[in-house]
Structure 1
Amino acid sequence: VPVDANCTPRIGGNGRRVGTVWVGRPTAELKRAYHEMRAAHEALKRTQQQLLHSEKMASLGQLVAGVAHELNNPISFVLGNVHALRKYCDRLQTYMAALHAHEPEPVLQALRQKLRIEHLLGDLPSLIEGTLEGAQRTADIVHGLKRFSAMDSEERVPVNLVEVIERAIHWVQKGRPTPVDVRWQAGTPCTVMGSAGQLQQVMMNLLQNAFDAVGGPGVVSPCVWVSLACDADAVRVSVRDNGPGVPPEHLLRIFDPFFTTKPVGKGTGLGLSISYGIVEQHGGRLSARNAEGGGAEFVLELPKAQ
């Protein structure tokens, strides 16, 4: 029987060795314990991934109204163009029927002016181009939603944080009933290694919290500042608002799971906790503080891609 052995000397009060404790344990028991520990670890990883995806779906649900409005514009544009194209098609069919019937030239000329064939032919290219543009915008919006809602892989790829921040600002703004003034100036591309979907989730969470903070009573001119600084080794993203700030007693618990200061039904208490874990997995750091000029400030630091 394979045995894992361990020997420990026993020392008496006079400092001399008085014996040895020998412990033998069948190796199969150790293997079973190891397999149980590994299975528990895999189950924990699956639960964490499901929790991460659930929080992402909760964030996605908050954007539904804004996304519906965002989709409505290009779809309405396409529908209007298609109705115009159908009328043009009817007029062209009428004119083509007259041509096939070998109507005299004066009749064709009068019909051509009545149906405005010259105007129709000149307007067709712009109608088709506009329809294609509206359809492409709709496809881009749906693709962005699919990319955000999809389960993220463990693979780390180069990610341009400027694009991540701009997409996050766009989506969170669309989910607001009233727009918030966002002060953001896009600079040169700044690349980190990571998951674009997970990093966008972190940025959307920070922005959503900032928007909620300035959306309460007492904030006269709601404003959120987003800045990006990039040096040789690290990238630093700051999200600051002019809301009431975070009470000092809550700063130490703000990243704890299920801790929230929002009313019941408004927050799960998981957003900042999950964001903190994502940033740690990317080798970075997420911190919170109250800004000197008032309001809360969240600082995201990530290692720059070499």
Structure 2
Amino acid sequence: MKRRWQVWVVAAVSIFVWAALTYAYFRAARQAIWDEIREHLMSVAQSVALSIDPEEHQRVYREGREDTPLYQKLTEQLQRFANALLPEVRERGPLLAQESIYTLVPSQGKTWHYVLDSSVPYDLNGDGEIDEDEDKAHLGEPCDVSEFPEMQRCYLEGKPTADKEFTEDKWGVWLSGYAPVKDKTGRVVAVVGVDFNVTTILEKEKRLRRTAWLVFAILSVFTILTALLFERIKQATDELREKAKALAQAKADWELTFDLIGVGVAVLDENFTVLQVNKALTQLLGKAEGEIIGEKCTKVLHPELSRSEVCPYERALKEGEIVSHEIQLPDGRVWLVQARSGIVDGKLRRTVHSIQDVTAERRARKLLEQTERLVTIGQMAAGVAHEINNPLNAIVGMAELLCEDLEDEGAKRMAEHICEQALRIGRITKNLLTFARPRPQEFTPVDINEVIREVVEMKSYQLRSNNIAVVLNLTEPLPKVLGDKTQLQQVLLNLINNAEDAMSEQGGGTLSITTERGEGLVRLIVEDTGKGIPPELLPHIFDPFFTTKPVGKGTGLGLTIVYGIVTGHGGRIWAENRPEGGARFVVELPVALQPEIQSQTSAEKRKEQGGLVVKRRILVIDDEPSIAAVLKAMLSRDGHKVETVSDGAEAKRLLQERDYDVVLCDLKMPKVDGAQLFRWLKETKPSLASRFIVMTGDFLSTTTQKALQEWGVPVLHKPFRMDELRALMKRLPQ
């Protein structure tokens, strides 16, 4: 019996302990859940309050009409919030009084007035019919707030609040949260209320309480089951919280990812109305998100269409095809528009339009194609230069022979003119080859005036054809600058081309090129009489791909390249408009620090050309018979003994049989070329290798550069005068 009582005592104590623990846990969990619900309600109310424009809200209240578009817009906005933030409405359907969001305008007394209400139709009185007006607050309807102290506290303190106690009526038990709507001055102009029907939650709470007491009544047998039950409840609550948190995080991650997409993306509904856009699209269109959402795609996504109510891709998208199309905008930009559709049960549900600005890519592609063409032209230019310079050399030599043979002064002047013009063609060919063929950057002392004369001579025909007069104001003497001559020629050529384009549009003009000597620098000024540069474009004139020329005419890189070359030479460049009209480009380059390379004086040249001519045995090797014949005739007149051959193989045979004092050899020849012959001569007759003279029509070829830098032999660039050859021969060792 005693043991029995002990068992009962133990059982009773166990039951009591269990009951106490259960009661304490239940109360703490209940308090935490309701605190979380209150926080949620305040958060929802605060989110709604922040989304409401106080000025629009006040205007709706003042107008006092529910049939205005603004009232409908704000009401629909509240309904969207209710559907998104209060998912219990969708889960339970319209059988119970729904949760709602509403706004009230406070006044001095206890009677406030409703403005907006998110309520949707539902069956309130249980008659099986849904009445739209059941429990829906209308605009201007009064509300006695004396029973809602937390609502008044929200208005007075200007902070979100929530009911501490439940409110019960015939529709159930409610819990409400409130948040203030403030104007720009911080004054509370309205209060947002969020009513949350907690009837179902309380019913669940009561059932849990009855279950707990039932387990308590069945004594300690069910203690473990009760503990397990509460553990399962706690686990389910935690899982729900984690799922809600994960869902919220997933939504935030999706929105962030959507905005991080570098391509403009728009989501459209089945009627091709924009539902959602990302940040890249708003930046591309230059419009705010609100200006795009709700519009038809033809209005905001298809600027190439002037007036159209139908999406140009509608037919293809309804058939499930992927559309990709490039459009050219009036401002010269190129957009790549792609569209994909989502079809459910044979019907179009969603479409996605993506827009990407591919202007830079298309320009880069054109520039690459242009560069490839220039490389091809450069390769062709080397062969053309060789073919032109060879006959030019023959013409120059024959003209010089005529000058020596002719006694008539008029005929002699004509022969000199032939020689000068042939040499001029050679200079033009040399300049063209310099621009057409890329080569490594090489800094040497450069005479800017010489660069100007060479480029102007090369452009003289085009400038004359476009009725453009050239005025040169060159300071003499001008200090040399340390730079790459080819790149400086490119700078001047680009500036002249821009001036030519500007003046050609108006039928001609005057191009002025001026050089000035400054303190430690040389200044180059290029001016034209065109229309000038619009002031708003001057800060961008050197930006990559920026051009004022018509679409398809310019790459937008000419002045960018000029800017890069000038700054790479330690100089600076700027553009401005002339007061009398036209544009002016100013380039400043630092003067070379090392002593300038002085050219030979006339006296030195006369000394070099004077004196007795040493008679030598000379072997001329050239596959052009006319050049070989001219050289033989000219050198024979100087008393030299000359033999000629047309290829390197024949030259090898003669060099093995005989001795020569000088070898004049063309670089490009069939069978054995000049480079092969020089290497053979260096091995078999090294003493004669120092008296080896190279002749070439392609001064930029790799072999020519080797002859100058590695072989250490003199090079004659075709076409050349006899005086140049004589001067070289005098410097050769005896």
Same fold (TM > 0.5)? yes
Distance change in 2, residues 1:195/1:213 (3 Å): same
Please name the residue that 1:89 is paired with.
none
What is the CA deviation profile of residues 215-268 of structure 1, one whole-angstrom value per residue up to 9, with x for unaligned ones?
Answer: 113x6x611221111123111111111111101121111111111111233211
1:142-157 alignment runs, 5 A limit: 142-157=429-444
* d(CA) in 2 for partners of 1:138, 1:274: 28
1:99-110 alignment runs, 5 A limit: none
Q: Does 1:223 align with 2:527?
A: no
One of 448, 451, 457 as aligned partner of 1:170: 457
1:62-81 alignment runs, 5 A limit: none
Please name the residue that 1:283 is paired with.
570
**Is the 8 Å Cα contact of residues 173 and 179 (structure 1) preserved in structure 2?**
no
Identity of aligned residues (%): 40
One of 198, 214, 226 as aligned partner of 2:487: 198
**Is the 8 Å Cα contact of residues 224 and 239 (structure 1) preserved in structure 2?**
yes
The letter of the residue matching 1:210 is: A
* d(CA) in 2 for partners of 1:243, 1:130: 37
Please name the residue that 1:256 is paired with.
543
Distance change in 2, residues 1:121/1:255 (3 Å): closer
The letter of the residue matching 2:564 is: G
Q: Does 1:237 align with 2:524?
A: yes
Q: Does 1:180 align with 2:458?
A: no
One of 361, 365, 371 as aligned partner of 1:54: 371
Query: What runs of 5+ residues in structure 2 fail to find an aligned partner?
Result: 1-363, 382-387, 400-404, 594-734
* d(CA) in 2 for partners of 1:194, 1:143: 19
Distance change in 2, residues 1:289/1:121 (3 Å): closer
Per-residue deviation, 1:134? 4.4
* d(CA) in 1 for partners of 2:416, 2:452: 30
What is the DSSP-based 3-state SS (H/G/I as helix, E as strand, rest coil) of the residue aligned with 1:153? coil
**Is the 8 Å Cα contact of residues 56 and 201 (structure 1) preserved in structure 2?**
no
* d(CA) in 1 for partners of 2:440, 2:550: 33
Distance change in 2, residues 1:55/1:193 (3 Å): farther
* d(CA) in 2 for partners of 1:280, 1:121: 54
The letter of the residue matching 1:223 is: T
**Is the 8 Å Cα contact of residues 566 and 572 (structure 2) preserved in structure 1?**
yes
One of 498, 502, 519 as aligned partner of 1:209: 498
**Is the 8 Å Cα contact of residues 233 and 304 (structure 1) preserved in structure 2?**
yes
**Is the 8 Å Cα contact of residues 148 and 197 (structure 1) preserved in structure 2?**
yes
**Is the 8 Å Cα contact of residues 158 and 305 (structure 1) preserved in structure 2?**
yes
* d(CA) in 2 for partners of 1:252, 1:271: 16
Distance change in 2, residues 1:55/1:121 (3 Å): same
Please name the residue that 2:44 is paired with.
none
What is the CA deviation profile of residues 101-130 of structure 1, one whole-angstrom value per residue up to 9, with x for unaligned ones?
Answer: xxxxxxxxxxxxxxxxxxx97579847656
The letter of the residue matching 1:258 is: F
* d(CA) in 1 for partners of 2:372, 2:566: 15
* d(CA) in 1 for partners of 2:560, 2:372: 10
What is the CA deviation profile of residues 84-111 of structure 1, one whole-angstrom value per residue up to 9, with x for unaligned ones?
Answer: xxxxxxxxxxxxxxxxxxxxxxxxxxxx
What is the DSSP-based 3-state SS (H/G/I as helix, E as strand, rest coil) of the residue aligned with 2:514? strand
Per-residue deviation, 1:275? 0.5
One of 266, 269, 286 as aligned partner of 2:553: 266
* d(CA) in 2 for partners of 1:55, 1:229: 38
Count of residues in correspondence between the two structures: 206
* d(CA) in 2 for partners of 1:246, 1:183: 21
Relative contact order, higher structure (CA 8 A, sep 6+): 1
* d(CA) in 2 for partners of 1:264, 1:174: 26
* d(CA) in 2 for partners of 1:241, 1:174: 17
- Segment of structure 1 superposing worse, 238-247 or 183-192: 183-192
- Segment of structure 1 superposing worse, 189-198 or 175-184: 175-184
Distance change in 2, residues 1:197/1:121 (3 Å): closer
Please name the residue that 1:247 is paired with.
534
Per-residue deviation, 1:55? 10
Per-residue deviation, 1:295? 1.1
What is the DSSP-based 3-state SS (H/G/I as helix, E as strand, rest coil) of the residue aligned with 2:524? strand
**Is the 8 Å Cα contact of residues 242 and 295 (structure 1) preserved in structure 2?**
yes
Query: What runs of 5+ residues in structure 1 fail to find an aligned partner?
Result: 1-46, 65-70, 83-119
What is the DSSP-based 3-state SS (H/G/I as helix, E as strand, rest coil) of the residue aligned with 2:540? coil
* d(CA) in 1 for partners of 2:588, 2:418: 43
* d(CA) in 2 for partners of 1:269, 1:232: 33
* d(CA) in 2 for partners of 1:130, 1:234: 38
* d(CA) in 1 for partners of 2:520, 2:451: 19
**Is the 8 Å Cα contact of residues 159 and 191 (structure 1) preserved in structure 2?**
yes
TM-score normalised to structure 1 length: 0.57
Distance change in 2, residues 1:128/1:248 (3 Å): closer
1:104-143 alignment runs, 5 A limit: 122=407, 126=412, 132-143=419-430
One of 592, 595, 610 as aligned partner of 1:305: 592
The letter of the residue matching 1:209 is: N
RMSD: 3.8
The letter of the residue matching 1:257 is: P
* d(CA) in 2 for partners of 1:122, 1:234: 51
Please name the residue that 2:164 is paired with.
none
Distance change in 2, residues 1:55/1:282 (3 Å): farther
* d(CA) in 2 for partners of 1:239, 1:134: 28
What is the DSSP-based 3-state SS (H/G/I as helix, E as strand, rest coil) of the residue aligned with 1:288? strand
* d(CA) in 2 for partners of 1:138, 1:302: 30
* d(CA) in 2 for partners of 1:200, 1:194: 11
- Segment of structure 1 superposing worse, 261-270 or 242-251: 261-270
